[in-house]
Structure 1
Amino acid sequence: MTNTETVPTWPKIDALTREDGSGEVTINGTLHPIETSNVDEARSAILARVTDTAAKMQRPVRVTTTGPDGAWPLIVHPDGTVEPDPETDPTPAPEAGEAAPEEPVEAPAARVIDQVPTLPAETPPAPSAPVYNGPTQPGNEWVRSAPVHAPDDQPQPRRAARQSFLTQEQTEEPATQGWRGLLTRTGIRMTPSEDERAERRDVQAVSQHWPGPRTIAIVNGKGGAGKTPTTVLLAAVFARYGGAGVLTWDNNQTRGTLGWRTEQGPHEATLLELLPQVDRLLSTGAQSADLAHYVHHQTRDRFDVLRSKPMALAHEQRVEPSDVDAIHAVAAKYYRLIFIDSGNDESDPMWLRMIDQTDQLVVATTTRDDHAEAGALLLEALAERDEKSAQLAKRAVVVVNQADPKAVSSDLARVADGYSGLALAAATVPHDPAMVDGILRYGSLRPATQRAWLAAGAAVASGL
């Protein structure tokens, strides 16, 4: 009689988590629904359910978890210990004919499309320009590795040849998001996913402090194109991650609404009250705290607002180009980043003087064709104004906001792609009810929308 070794049968366990905190565990065809308030709680509840199954079977079990950050094959032990399944590809692709798990999507994901300016065919490359023909970096198809040159035969100086004791290896922090983050918190150090690495790169980009102040103008000649939300939320990104020293300024002759979409301080001062105090604020005895009389601090998003006076008629608050210079001088003395919310009249000397003070241009638009066309025409006009304006237009960043809830992700992509050759980069932002009316706060946005604004901020930072 032949003895046949009994091989234990692994139960078929699949787990699904959703962004809203719901999910389910399927064990040998039996569905166990999960209802929690957020995705992390859902993962914990799923882990508890699978651990209970492993404890009842008195041996480890395999589970395939699927969530917003992908699919992960794991082994769960009866004591709750979790480890990657060594016999399975950690990022399995769906089998032929098998559809990938579907999850509800509330809004299109953040998307940044970098464009390479096209040179005329007859323009030869600069002789000194380096040639990058190596592999692209993950997550950025336009950043290439420089070619590796063969070492020459010349002997190196002793100091150059010696390994410095001060050299430190940069160790990547373990994952904090998704199932990788969950495993890290259970004691299994996991490397971050490419999505988390990309987010870390964007955070690092907007956290930088540049030498000297930088001025960013948000423009579009069409009203309702999203200039004010773009101004507020870009400033919030840079202030939240990079710290204080960020100002938004309503440079609008006619009904500027920056003050209506932001918190008001304990006063009603506007730039009209600041202008008579310019000389005093520029004097050596002035202090940064003196500005609190004229700007409105955003307590949650950590930037300041210099309001216009939308209740007054344009002729009652006329601001001249010299006034723009004076206000900018004060702003540049006390702030490292100045975001200017502009008006719609591109022929206004006040608007043109703003362009002269600008270091980085941001075109705000929605998916509406008239808004997108107005932004494109503006860039084309600036390209013919003078050399500096042409450079601003060439290095401009476009932010496409899905203001219309009926628009779809293809509408965002169509508008972003339409700026190819006109601007350096285009970032898309999904629709979010928290951006429609009232005071704008970064923390009130959906996670996907916050991620989109972070990506847009990183694109802007690349030009600073």
Structure 2
Amino acid sequence: MRQKENTTAVALDLPTIPLITARFRGDATAELSVDGEREEFAADSVEALRDAVLTRVTAVAADLGRPVQLTAEDDDGAWLLAVHPDGEIGEEEPLDADPVEQGDVPAPLPAHGAHSAGAYAELDALDAQDAPDVRDAQDAPDGQEAPLGADAPDTQDGPQRTSFLQEQPRTDRAARGWRGFLVRVGLPVAASRSEREERAEVQAVSRHWAGPRTISIVNGKGGANKTPTTAMLASVFARNGGSGVLAWDNNETRGTLGWRTEQAAHDATLQTLLPAVDHLLSPAAQSSELGYFVHHQTADKYDVLRSNPAMLATQQRITTEDFDRLHAVAAKYFRLIFVDSGNDESAERWLRMIDHTDQLVIATTALGEHAEAGALLLEALAQRDERSARLARDAVVVVSQSERTGNRTDARTVAAGFEPLARRAVTIPFDPALHGGRLDFDSLAKPTRRAWLHAAAAVAEGL
């Protein structure tokens, strides 16, 4: 499909008969309605699905011998398109609730084969509005270095010249949904608000901070979703920011993080790691040696330090000193350490975890007893000491809708209840892939993956 050359009729100027609408769903299916007669479409990819629907609409236009108006809807909004009998797409009109701000979208270029130097000059001029004006760079205050790309000042050794290194302006073209499709057929459409927000959150979780960071996922009530929260946050940061992410099971009472994640070619636990701490902290140790003790998640890119759920709690007690030594190893080899806290808030290892924590995450479901336990924990930490109080104030609360029959409103209500206690409260929709079996980010539904990215970005704000 191509943009129509010299199109003068925007979609709104076309006859509204026949009334044609297409609704694209997230599972690569769509429903097309032509004057009330519905057809279902399915394809292996979203691109193939759009092509199939547009081919059908083109046939309608060809039968009528004129362009027709198509209202296309997907998760990013709705668009009014002009579809021509020869299969080309004319100008479009955005209908969604997130209109592009005036001036964000340059005028459409001429059709394929008719691009002119004037059209390109106009587009370059519009893009250049967001670029830094290097002509004023020499006016930087005294004592400050001029920005990259500034004209070099006159010197006694030679004439003035302009640097060859110039900062490139960032483009904000859409890449997904109908906006992205229109970009690919030649219309320079800006990304929607939701796409811009998602890009910003991906950038937030992709950062590398100077020095290691410890994020503790806590709730004194069992079954409050601490383990899935630990695994999903670790996955989002590792998938986007790269290696150096550890998920540590700090539970001495049947911790299940090891059961619900991929096992390496060994069965090592943190008890296996303790005798090797001195060597791993020595200058002679190599980072690859840590592979004897942690379990790498090949798809989700993070590593797991397991507890031993087969042992009684009395057989795997971790003292304050033990925790410090284990944390020293984790901080030497990993940039981000996600700690699944366990349930015993009086245990030495739990209390020492709080002392090492940089960002606190309260994991809870929408059930009242889980939320109440999380709130009581925040209130208790606020009274413990000044540092713990700061952690409580800056905490992120992740409320998961754990019941298939539950209402998403329940999770939002719980999240709203945490607003006076914590910095942020976010919600996660119900997803069967989070309840039983291996925790695998790719197995989640698209809305769930998006919700975990949003939660991880909230955590990143505190690092």
Give the TM-score, by structure 2 length: 0.81
2:415 alignment partner in structure 1: 416
1:273 maps to 2:272? yes
Query: Map of 1:330-409 to 2, 5 A cutoff?
Result: 330-409=329-408
Matched letter for residue 429 of structure 1: I
Q: Which of 66, 70, 77 in structure 1 is aligned with 2:77?
A: 70
Matched letter for residue 187 of structure 1: G
> How far has the Cα of 1:277 moved from its partner?
0.4
2:324 alignment partner in structure 1: 325
Unmatched segments (≥5 aa) in structure 2: 1-12, 99-138, 152-162
Matched letter for residue 60 of structure 1: P
Secondary structure of the corresponding residue to residue 310 of structure 2? coil
Secondary structure of the corresponding residue to residue 186 of structure 2? coil
1:310 alignment partner in structure 2: 309
Secondary structure of the corresponding residue to residue 266 of structure 2? coil
Distance 1:179 1:155, change over 3 A: closer
Task: Number of aligned residue pairs: give it.
Answer: 396
2:32 alignment partner in structure 1: 25
Residues in 2 aligned to 1:168 and 1:356: alpha-carbon distance in whole angstroms:
43
Residues in 1 aligned to 2:280 and 2:41: alpha-carbon distance in whole angstroms:
59
1:440 maps to 2:439? yes
Residues in 2 aligned to 1:81 and 1:174: alpha-carbon distance in whole angstroms:
21
Q: Which of 48, 53, 58 in structure 2 is aligned with 1:46?
A: 53
Q: Which of 96, 114, 124 in structure 2 is aligned with 1:91?
A: 96
> How far has the Cα of 1:234 moved from its partner?
0.3
Residues in 1 aligned to 2:457 and 2:90: alpha-carbon distance in whole angstroms:
35
> How far has the Cα of 1:400 moved from its partner?
0.3
1:59 maps to 2:66? yes
Matched letter for residue 276 of structure 1: P
1:183 alignment partner in structure 2: 182
2:281 alignment partner in structure 1: 282
Residues in 1 aligned to 2:56 and 2:445: alpha-carbon distance in whole angstroms:
29
Q: Deviations over 1:96-127 (max 9, x none)?
A: xxxxxxxxxxxxxxxxxxxxxxxxxxxxxxxx
Distance 1:160 1:231, change over 3 A: closer
> How far has the Cα of 1:163 moved from its partner?
4.9
Matched letter for residue 84 of structure 1: E
Residues in 1 aligned to 2:254 and 2:244: alpha-carbon distance in whole angstroms:
26
Matched letter for residue 91 of structure 1: D
Residues in 1 aligned to 2:445 and 2:140: alpha-carbon distance in whole angstroms:
58
Residues in 1 aligned to 2:376 and 2:435: alpha-carbon distance in whole angstroms:
26
The answer to whether the 8 Å contact 1:64/1:73 transfers is yes
Q: Deviations over 1:334-376 (max 9, x none)?
A: 0000000011111111100000011000000000101000000
1:121 alignment partner in structure 2: none
Residues in 2 aligned to 1:348 and 1:438: alpha-carbon distance in whole angstroms:
28
Secondary structure of the corresponding residue to residue 190 of structure 1? coil
Secondary structure of the corresponding residue to residue 361 of structure 1? strand
1:259 alignment partner in structure 2: 258
Residues in 2 aligned to 1:35 and 1:20: alpha-carbon distance in whole angstroms:
9
Secondary structure of the corresponding residue to residue 360 of structure 2? strand
Residues in 2 aligned to 1:253 and 1:292: alpha-carbon distance in whole angstroms:
22
Distance 1:155 1:412, change over 3 A: closer
> How far has the Cα of 1:176 moved from its partner?
1.4
The answer to whether the 8 Å contact 1:19/1:38 transfers is no
Of structures 1 and 2, the one scoring higher in RCO (CA 8 A, sep 6+) is 1
Secondary structure of the corresponding residue to residue 259 of structure 1? coil
